[in-house]
Amino acid sequence: MLVAMTVHVPQYVDLLWPALQAAIALGGSASNEELDSAVVEREGLSSDVQGVLHGDGPSTEIEYRLAWARTYLKGMGLLTNSRRGVWSVTEKGREVGESEIRPLHAEFSAENRKKNAARKSAKAASRRNDEPDANIAEAENDADWKDLLLDTVLKMSPPAFERLTQRLLREAGFSSASVTGRGGDGDIEGLGVYQLSLLSFPVFFQCKRYSGSVGAGAVRDFRGAMAGRGEKGLLITTGTFTGDARTESKRDGAPPIDLIDGDRLCDLLKEHSLGVQTTTRLVEDVEVRSDYFHSLEPK
C-alpha cells in the first residue's frame, strides 16, 4: 500500500528573514530570479518542494510565497524595488535583526488591514490561513495579470504559439528566428541570430509550454541537442526552473544556457507590448483640511 507524502512548503512569513539575508549576501541588490534561487539554496529546499504548483500552475507555490515575502519586506521598509524588478536592501534592512522581523510584519499587517477596511473596494472574502491576510494591490494585480497571461499562452494552438515565440525573439533583438523542430505538446526548437550592436551570433532555442518545474535533466538534454547548432543556448518555459536546473545551466566546463521562466516571459511580453497593454493612471488623493474651515470662524 502506497502512502502519499505531504510536501511542506515554508510559509511566506518564514521566508522573510531568509529572503532579506539572501539579498544582502548578493551585494544588496538582486533580481527576482537571483533572489528566489539564493533563498532556495540557503534554505536547502528540495526538488519536491520546488515542484509544488500554486493551484493549477503554471507558477509554483514557493515562487508565489517568495513573491509575497518580497512584497511584505518592501512594505516593512526593508527592501525597495525598481521598475525593472531589481530589489535593493534599504539601510533599515541592513540594520534590522532577525528577532525584529515578526514584530515589524505584525505592525505592517495591522496598518494595512486598517487601510483596507477604509477602502470601499476592500474584499470581503477571507483568505486561507496559509496566505497573506492583507490585500496589497500592487502585488496582487501583478500576480493576477501574469496568471491570466500564462493561462492564455498555454491554451494557444501550436501554430499560434510558434508565431508568438518568433515575434518575441525578433522584438527582443533576433535578426532571424527559424523553427526547426516541433514537439507533440506544442513545444518548439529552432535557430536564430541575435544581433547585439555591431556583433551577431547564432543561438539555439527551445520553448516549452509547461505547467510546473523544469529540472536539471531537461537542461542537460537541451545542451546535448544544441551541440554544433549554436554558440549560445536559450531555454524558455511557461513554467519555472528548479534550483538544480539553474545550477546546471551555469555549470563550469559546459556551454552556458540562458533560462527564461514564465514570470520573465510575462515581463518580456509586457515590455514588447505583445498581447499586453499597459495603461498609466493618475490617482488623485483628496484631503479635507478642517483647520481651514475653523480659521473662518469668528474670533
| Strand ranges across the sheet with 29-31 | 29-31, 86-89, 79-81
Burial of 100 (0-12, 13-18, 19+ CB in 10 A): middle
**Architecture of the 12-103 domain:** Orthogonal Bundle (1.10)
CA distance 205 to 229: 10
Q: Quote the pLDDT of residue 122.
A: 47
Per-residue confidence (pLDDT) for residue 138, from 0 to 100:
56
DSSP type of residue 143: H
Position 125 confidence tier, pLDDT thresholds 50, 70, 90: very low
All three cell numbers of 101, joined, read 522581523
Rounded to an integer, what distance in angstroms lies between the CA atom of residue 132 and that of residue 104?
15
Most confident of 84-88, 92-96, 121-125: 92-96
The type of residue at 8 is: H
- pLDDT over 90 (residue 22): yes
Q: What is the mean pLDDT of residues 89-110?
A: 93
**Residue 143 has what pLDDT?**
63
| pLDDT band, very low/low/confident/very high, at 137 (cuts 50, 70, 90) | low
54 with 60: CB under 8 angstroms? Answer: yes
DSSP assignment letter at 233: E
How far apart are alpha carbons 67 and 248 in whole angstroms?
24
pLDDT band at 134 (very low <50, low <70, confident <90, very high): very low
Q: What are phi and psi of 16, to 5 degrees?
A: -60, -55
Listed by start position, the domains of the chain span 12-103, 156-272
90 Cβ partners below 8 Å, 6+ apart? 77, 78, 79, 80
Q: In this model, does residue 75 exceed pLDDT 90?
A: yes
Please name the residue that has the C-alpha cell 516571459. 265
pLDDT, tens digit (0-9, with 9 covering 90-100), for 270-282: 988 888 888 877 7
pLDDT tens digits, one per residue of 147-166: 899 989 999 888 889 889 99
Return the pLDDT at 70: 94
pLDDT at 110: 86
Residues contacting 59, CB < 8 A, separation 6+: 53, 146, 147, 150, 239, 240, 262, 263
Q: Pick the more confident residue, 152 or 286.
A: 152
d(CA 268, CA 266): 5
- Whether residue 24 contacts residue 94, with contact meaning beta carbons closer than 8 Å, is answered with yes
Which CATH code of 3.20.20.150, 3.30.2290.10, 3.40.1350.10, 3.40.50.150 fits the domain covering 156-272? Answer: 3.40.1350.10
Task: Share the mean pLDDT of the chain.
Answer: 84
Which of 103-107, 114-118, 124-128, 177-181 shows the lowest per-residue confidence on average (mean pLDDT)? 124-128
Quick one: average pLDDT of 25-51? 89
Percent of the chain whose pLDDT exceeds 90? 33
Q: Lowest-pLDDT range, 111-115, 231-235, 268-272? A: 111-115
State how far the Cα of 280 lies from the Cα of 11, in Å rounded to an integer: 33
pLDDT digits (tens, 9 = 90+) for 167-212: 899 988 888 888 889 887 778 999 988 888 888 888 999 998 888 8
Handedness of CA 140, 141, 142, 144 (dihedral sign): positive
Say if residue 288's pLDDT is above 90.
Answer: no
Q: CA 202 to CA 229: how far, in whole Å?
A: 8
For residue 266, give the 3-state DSSP assignment: helix
In sequence order, which ranges of the chain are alpha helices (DSSP H)? Answer: 16-25, 32-43, 47-50, 61-75, 91-95, 98-118, 137-154, 158-171, 216-226, 243-249, 262-271, 290-295
**pTM over 0.85, yes/no:** no
